[in-house]
């Protein structure tokens, strides 16, 4: 994926669907994606209730963060916060960290990806109940041996 493709996906998710819960009237977050195939810089600017995202360097920013595309998606979904990302080394930040925190959970709940539920593996008992019963091998009945002495004495 190229930077422009990554930016378009991010922009599509944020534009129109974003919710910002902050008491700040203005912040600008410069985001640097660090992936080899889609590295590049864009910014997210929030000014008096209006949110914009543009694919170029924004020098007059509140905070500059560097992270991977995957980590950025987790950040805007609310699955990762800035503090834990910095502590784990997945996010580098310079500037006002409260501005960076403002973009956490920027994508509303209804837009977040739904986690797939794991299907439990069948237990041996469940497998036995669902499988067709195996045909049982029955031993062929052998004819009974007749003792000629016993049958001769009975006839008398």
Give the residue, 63 or 25, on which the prediction is more confident: 63
CATH code matching the domain that covers 3-108, chosen among 3.20.20.70, 3.30.1050.10, 2.40.240.20, 3.40.1280.10? 3.30.1050.10
**pLDDT > 90 fraction of the chain, expressed in percent and rounded:** 33
> DSSP of the chain, one letter per residue?
--HHHHHHHHHHHHTTT-----S-SEEEEEEEE--SSS-EEEEEEEETTEEEEESS--SS-SEEEEE-HHHHHHHHHTSS-HHHHHHHTS-EEEE-HHHHHTTTT-S-GGGSPPPPPPPPPPPHHHHHHHSPPPPPP-PPPPPPPP-HHHHHHHH-
For the chain, what are the domain ranges?
Answer: 3-108
Question: Which pLDDT tens digit goes with each residue over 106-139?
Answer: 776 554 455 555 555 555 555 555 555 555 555 5
Does position 6 have pLDDT exceeding 60, yes or no? Answer: yes
Question: Which pLDDT tens digit goes with each residue over 73-103?
Answer: 998 888 998 999 999 999 999 999 988 888 8
């Amino acid at each position: 994926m190229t930077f422009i493709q990554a930016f378009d996906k991010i922009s599509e998710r944020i534009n129109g669907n974003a919710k910002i819960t902050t008491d700040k009237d203005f912040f600008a977050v410069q985001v640097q994606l660090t992936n080899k195939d889609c590295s590049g810089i864009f910014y997210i600017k929030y000014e008096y209730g209006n949110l914009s995202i543009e694919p170029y360097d924004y020098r007059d920013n509140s905070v500059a963060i560097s992270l991977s595309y995957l980590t950025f998606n987790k950040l805007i979904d609310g699955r990762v916060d800035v503090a834990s990302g910095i502590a784990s080394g997945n996010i580098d930040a310079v500037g006002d960290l409260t501005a960076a925190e403002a973009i956490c959970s920027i994508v509303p709940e209804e837009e977040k990806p739904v986690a797939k539920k794991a299907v439990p593996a069948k237990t041996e008992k469940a497998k036995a109940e669902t499988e067709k019963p195996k045909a049982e091998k029955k031993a062929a009945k052998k004819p009974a041996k007749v003792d000629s002495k016993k049958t001769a004495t009975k006839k008398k």
